[in-house]
Structure 1
Amino acid sequence: MATDGPSVAIVGLGWLGEPLAETLQARGYRVAGTTTDAGKADRLGAAGLRVRLWDINGPLPACWPAELVADTLILCVPPGRVDDYASTLGRLASLAAAGGIKRLLFTSATSVYGGPGHKTEQHAAPDSVRGERMLAAEQAVRQAGVPQVLCLRLAGLVGGSREPGRFLAGRRFPGGEEPVNLVAQEDLLRIIPAILARADWPSCLNVCAPHHPSRRAFYTKAALDRGLTPPAFDGGGEGKHIDGSALTRWLKLDYRVQDWFAWLEQRKAQD
């Protein structure tokens, strides 16, 4: 590996990993990544990325792949695509640690918070199978031997190809007055490079925009903006309110999305 400039390896060049790789490369990082899609590997390789075609559900190699040797490893692998999620990520992180990875950023999720109410980083107590799996994965990567680990607990992901107007359209749900907890792709592409530039990583941070309209209001507008049948909601509900302000205080960087209705209007105008 060349020694000039910072380097990042991204396991999972998907909805977040691919544009993040492009963003970091444009900022002068040497970027490598993995995908299970041969066509994507060819396309990204032609754009100057070092890409390994790798399905981590298969047997892991005996040592960390040379293409992925880097200063920092970013795990962008959603649980639905990995068998035995916590164990697999833990073994992968251990392999990375043995291969010289010094920092690991894991894109976790706010499903680690169970029950209603205001949730800060100290309140992890899952009440779902998904949340338990995610918290177990956090623990596994922290115990893998990488010197510095940051678990980013991402709220609901929107932007790019993830169109919220289609999420709930035409269906019926409870909890219409519960707050939405979301983060936009464009904010993640600002926040993660800012995190990489810092040396004083905390152990975990929530990533959630500060605007929390009701599910009824947000998803109704999102569907109508796309010409879709809006969802119907029964009842109210307190819901969870994810507090993403610790990140902004630490980075001294505000979320770009401060108003989800304005964000929906901007997306509609760009069509």
Structure 2
Amino acid sequence: MKSVSIVGLGWLGLPLARHLKNLGWDVKGSKRTHEGAEQMRLLRLEAYHLELTPDLNIDPDDLTALLSVDSLVINIPPSQYFFDLNHYVQGVKNLVNEALLHNVQHIIFISSTSVFPEISGEFDENIVPQPAGDIGKALVEIERWLFGLTDIDCDIIRFAGLVGDDRHPVYSLAGKQDITAGGSPVNLVHIDDCARAVQLLLETPSYQRLYHLSAAKHPTRSDYYTQTAEKLGLELPHFICSAQDPQRIIKADKISQELGFVYQYPDPYLMLPTER
């Protein structure tokens, strides 16, 4: 039985863990609080408390159990609210170094398309990222460091804006007025596609790979969120559209071309959340 640990059993990590467990994987994971780890255990997931401070704040026996796996998925989004970004970078490096000491064979790092600035252009995996914000800079530093490792399979997957049944930007935009960049395209990906893409990478380790994940269609923010709010019976948002709105497109068909991945949600209009 193949085994995997998911560091970060949050909004994405928990569904991913359940998905892999349903496929027969031996799945473990971590939360950064004792209470969170206990909640995961109540859901019948083997879970441990792990906090990056940036030292690994975890019981040594628990660390051994967490890292006694074939593969490690690092799913800890950097946040200026929860982490000092320098601590975040060093914490991820410390975690990876421990994984290497425990003979983990395959690492997947969940990154973000926020490594690219909000400017016009088509951004595929060949474009060198030039992040404008500190979070993007932290992600790029980790990406480059990971691809400097040898003797281990390592994948980096950059997700576009995440959407799921209980998470959709339309809820925070509903009813707002004079929202800028209404003419800019959306770059979104559904959580189900994210889980299936990570599964595919886990099943096909091959040294070092970099992939984007984003739906192929990119309606404008104004069209998409207005129509989505209307379908959900929400108060309509009002956008300001300008000819100067950045036309930023995330290209994400490399994983399909190389690994045969098929998006279940290639169009953001297929990502309508279940009504609240």
TM-score normalised by L of structure 2:
0.87
The answer as to 2:136 corresponding to 1:121 is: no
Which of 256, 262, 273 is matched with 1:254 structurally? 262
Q: Mark the CA change 1:24 to 1:262 in structure 2 (over 3 Å): closer, same or farther.
A: closer
CA contact (8 A) 2:187 2:218 kept: yes
Which of 194, 197, 200 is matched with 1:194 structurally? 200
The answer as to 2:170 corresponding to 1:165 is: yes
> Gapped runs of 5+ residues in structure 1?
none
Show CA shifts across 1:133-191 (max 9, x none). 22112123334667121110110001042122213221432211111001001111222
Q: 1:228-247 alignment to 2 at 5 Å?
A: 228-236=234-242, 237-247=245-255
* C-alpha separation in 2, matches of 1:129 and 1:171: 28
> Gapped runs of 5+ residues in structure 2?
none
Structure 1 segments, 4+ long, off by >6 Å, are none
Which of 22, 37, 46 is matched with 2:18 structurally? 22
CA contact (8 A) 1:86 1:140 kept: no
CA RMSD of aligned residues (A): 2.2
Which of 7, 29, 40 is matched with 2:3 structurally? 7
What's the CA shift for 1:41? Answer: 2.3
Q: Mark the CA change 1:201 to 1:155 in structure 2 (over 3 Å): closer, same or farther.
A: farther
Which of 134, 143, 146 is matched with 1:138 structurally? 143
The one-letter amino acid paired with 2:73 is I
Residue 83 (structure 2) aligns with: 82
CA contact (8 A) 2:55 2:94 kept: no
Could you say what secondary structure the match of 1:122 adopts? coil
Residue 71 (structure 2) aligns with: 72
What's the CA shift for 1:223? Answer: 2.7
The one-letter amino acid paired with 1:207 is L
TM-score normalised by L of structure 1:
0.88
Would you say how many aligned residue pairs link Structure 1 and Structure 2? 264
What's the CA shift for 1:201? Answer: 5.1
* C-alpha separation in 1, matches of 2:171 and 2:110: 24
CA contact (8 A) 1:97 1:145 kept: no
The answer as to 2:222 corresponding to 1:216 is: yes
Residue 178 (structure 1) aligns with: 184
